[in-house]
Amino acid sequence: MKAHLILEDGNVFTGTSIGSTREVISEIVFNTSMTGYLEVLTDPSYAGQAVVMTYPLIGNYGITPDMESGRPWPDGYIVRELSRMPSNFREEGTIQDFLTKYDIPGIAGIDTRALTKILREKGTMNGMITTNNNYNIEEIIPRLKAYTTGNVVDKVTCSEKRVLKGNGKRVALLDLGAKNNIAQSLNKRGCEVTIYPAHTTAEEILATNPDGIMLSNGPGDPKECKEIIAEIKKLYDSDTPIFAICLGHQLMALATGADTHKMKYGHRGGNHPVKDLETGRVYISSQNHGYVVDTDTLDPVIAKPAFVNVNDGTNEGLSYVGKNIFTVQFHPEACPGPQDSAYLFDRFISMM
């Protein structure tokens, strides 16, 4: 069956429908990872977005147990070529069946290189995936321009508190759309991790007297999370050690008076170099974000830049002055991606 990807700038790509055949409007973003497509699909940070995979062949090892949450989150999935005969000793099914099971529409057989060039040159834009061959582009484009992801954190956060038992430090993890490997990275270092829904009050978390607090990754515009930002400010004021990743990093910056802005096309992939400004060492990192902290708005009395992106100079981490708090924009739990920065979890445990 034919499927069409219609961009808000009027460009149309025609390919083959994969997964669900329902029509969807979403923000179109690209990911440059060469492997780890299942971790990408199950990363809650992609809620409200349709993902273009730039690597030309996707699905060759099928669906494996490497899921970062209980289900896939993107609104749509866009690939150049989809493997029809996956092969892996852990393979449990195909991407096609996986997308169909979770009602996620996709499109294969389009020129993803050309599509990615458009997104790089013009910036991230909205688009529609449809199997309707009689679409009216003049009617569709205003709908595309009007689309916003909204507050998608509420969609992806856990519904109730749960605990991963451990014999070491007790960590409270605020689930803003957390990938499983964040809690697992702490748990395998001995920590007892209590995972809280995103709208848990600071008072409830602090009442348990945790040794440390972890703020997770998550989807959407950080400025949409006004109530959560207010609670994070209380956590900041508590003097409890805090480590934050991605969206959590942005929310902590907003809670302490800094600003964020949307990037032209964001960072999504497994090979982004980040430089530790204290040591000068460069690490290869996994990243997935479309917003960034504006360092010009930082109060130097409150926070200072700790990491910078080597490619474009954008902020990749902050160290908070006089506080046991540090935050990073990249993913030290790295699923998918390199393990270069996993040592940050050890730093957090030492801090606690």
List all residues 6 or more positions away from 208 whose beta carbon is below 8 Å from its beta carbon: 170, 172, 194
Judge whether 333 counts as a catalytic residue. Answer: yes
Residue pair 25/128 in contact by the 8 Å Cβ criterion: yes
Which residue numbers belong to the known binding site for L-glutamine? 45, 218, 220, 247, 250, 288, 290-291
Determine the longest span between alpha carbons in the chain, in angstroms.
61
pLDDT tens digits, 173-219 = 999 999 999 999 999 999 999 999 999 999 999 999 999 999 999 99
pLDDT tens digits, 277-334 = 999 999 999 999 999 999 999 999 999 999 999 999 999 999 999 999 999 999 999 8
Tell me which of 3.40.50.880, 3.90.226.10, 1.20.58.220, 3.40.50.300 is the CATH number of domain 153-351: 3.40.50.880
pLDDT band at 257 (very low <50, low <70, confident <90, very high): very high
Tell me which of 3.50.30.20, 3.20.20.120, 2.40.30.10, 2.70.210.12 is the CATH number of domain 2-146: 3.50.30.20
pLDDT (mean) for 34-39: 94
The confidence score (pLDDT) of residue 164 equals 97
The confidence score (pLDDT) of residue 89 equals 96
* Active-site entry in 8, 39, 68, 333: 333
pLDDT (mean) for 75-81: 98
- CB-based burial of residue 1 (10 Å sphere; 0-12 exposed, 13-18 middle, 19+ buried)? exposed
Helix ranges (DSSP H) in 46-136: 95-101, 112-122
Helix ranges (DSSP H) in the chain: 37-41, 95-101, 112-122, 137-146, 153-156, 180-187, 202-207, 226-237, 247-255, 343-351
User: Would you say residue 6 has pLDDT above 90?
Assistant: yes
* Active-site entry in 191, 225, 246, 335: 246
Query: Position 249: which residue type?
Result: H
The confidence score (pLDDT) of residue 150 equals 87
Closest CA to 174 of 199, 203, 192, 209: 199
* Active-site entry in 249, 272, 289, 331: 331
Which residue numbers belong to the known binding site? 45, 218, 220, 247, 250, 288, 290-291
pLDDT band at 34 (very low <50, low <70, confident <90, very high): very high
The confidence score (pLDDT) of residue 84 equals 85
| Per-domain boundaries in the chain | 2-146, 153-351
Structure tokens at 86: 């996956």
pLDDT (mean) for 49-67: 96
Judge whether 267 counts as a catalytic residue. Answer: no
pLDDT band at 271 (very low <50, low <70, confident <90, very high): very high
pLDDT tens digits, 125-171 = 999 999 999 999 999 999 999 999 989 999 999 999 999 999 999 99
